[in-house]
Amino acid sequence: MSLTLRPFGEADAECWDAFVRAFPEGTFFHLAGWRQVIAEAFGHREHYTIAERSGQIVGVMPLFHLKSHLFANGLISVPFCVYGGPLALDEETRKALDDHAVALMGQVGADFVEFRSRVPSRADWVCRDDLYFDFRKPIAEDADAILKSIPRKQRAVVRKVIDAGEVSDAVEDNIDNFYRAYAEGVRDHGTPIFGKRYFQKIVDVFGDAVEIRTVKDADGRVLNSVMSFYYGDEIHLYYAGGAPDAKRRGTVHYLYWRAMCGAREKGYSVCNFGRSKAGSGGYDMKSHWKCDVAPLTYEFRLKEGKTLPDFNPLNPKYRLQIAIWRRLPLPVANLVGPFVARNLG
């Protein structure tokens, strides 16, 4: 039976997602909805590809072309997401999808192909496994057990917030409070913000698989908020932010505990704290939660003469830009940020 490759069509979403959900390495970020989210929010061109034998799907490859004069010019699976890469039932299919991506690199004039694989499988590609790390933690059976599973220092912070009785948390239907907290958080880290349209698209496309949980003080002021994704057996704490005084008050730890409690009540058993760069503040904070830490192995096929893209904010050459961005008034950062962030996939 011959193998054929074809572009994704609008009628393919259901069967694509069924294949992803049945595949052991399938993730939330392989789902077809990201094709719509990224294309409509950022305008990047997609090259989603299906591999078939006798009309049956045997492989899928989510892929976008990000082209920027200032930043990357690459084919990425999947940009703005922590995981990606082709999913294939056999080696022939995997190689065919790999070869198709490499051929596309030449056709569209890209400098590299990047597969955000969870497990490296391409010996002849460049593998980077020293930049990003994944953090997962099993969720205990109830709120008290979850609290006891948190290391002593962080548990004391959560108990202090609880005992003070000055904050409350709730799951919210709209993104306004989340976006306000997220905007403050990324500006203070010196990072350009995604436009509000992007987050609204995520909510619109993925519906109940998305949860926004927000912590407020007694006056109703937003302290912290997190946008999480539900998939398989886990909750993925993906986008988060907070007010300048939230770190001092320790409310982010309270928020994460409450998110884990909510996930357990829904039957989920794993909390994915998301990726962080080695040496970053996020890496240090998540390490203190007694998580299982694993490197993310991103694989690259480079155009001849090109080197690995490097947009690591910990790189000293970006120190000045980050320092300037941190000093921007929030309205200015929110206005300019989306034009920059759309190319930082």
Give the position of tokens 């989306």.
338
What are the structure tokens assigned to 181, written together?
Answer: 């907290």
Residue 137 lies in a domain: yes
Q: Does the pLDDT of residue 313 top 60, yes or no?
A: no
% of the chain residues with pLDDT over 90 = 73
Structural domain boundaries enclosing 309 = 3-128+298-330
Domain co-membership, 149 together with 217: yes
Q: Compare 230 and 280 and report the one with higher pLDDT.
A: 230
Domain co-membership, 27 together with 110: yes
Domain co-membership, 192 together with 97: no
Partner residues linked to 127 by β-bridges: 299
Domain co-membership, 104 together with 142: no
Domain co-membership, 302 together with 320: yes
Q: Which of 150-164, 204-218, 261-275, 276-290 has the lowest mean pLDDT?
A: 276-290
What average pLDDT is seen over the chain?
A: 91
Residue 96 lies in a domain: yes
Whichever domain contains 66, its CATH number is 3.40.630.30
Domain co-membership, 152 together with 283: yes
List the beta strands (DSSP E) in the chain.
Answer: 3-7, 45-46, 49-53, 56-61, 64-67, 73-77, 87-88, 112-115, 126-128, 132-138, 167-172, 210-217, 222-231, 234-242, 270-277, 292-295, 298-302
pLDDT band at 22 (very low <50, low <70, confident <90, very high): very high
Domain co-membership, 240 together with 197: yes
Neighbour count for residue 227 (Cβ, 10 Å): 22
Neighbour count for residue 78 (Cβ, 10 Å): 26
pLDDT value at residue 344? 74
Instruction: Phi first, then psi: give them for residue 334, nearest 5 degrees.
Output: -70, -30
Give me the number of domains the chain comprises. 2
User: Looking at 279, 295, 311, which one is the last position of a domain?
Assistant: 295
Residue 337 lies in a domain: no
Per-residue pLDDT of 174-225, as tens digits, reads 999 999 999 888 776 667 889 999 999 999 999 999 999 999 999 999 999 9
Q: Does the pLDDT of residue 317 top 60, yes or no?
A: no
What is the spatial distance between Cα 301 and Cα 110, in angstroms, rounded to a whole number?
11
Closest CA to 255 of 181, 338, 329: 181
Residue 344 lies in a domain: no
Residue 11 lies in a domain: yes
Domain co-membership, 33 together with 145: no
Q: Does the pLDDT of residue 318 top 90, yes or no?
A: no
Domain co-membership, 33 together with 120: yes
Domain co-membership, 291 together with 146: yes
Residue 29 lies in a domain: yes
pLDDT value at residue 220? 95
Domain co-membership, 222 together with 138: yes
pLDDT band at 341 (very low <50, low <70, confident <90, very high): low
Domain co-membership, 154 together with 242: yes
Residue 338 lies in a domain: no
Residue 261 lies in a domain: yes
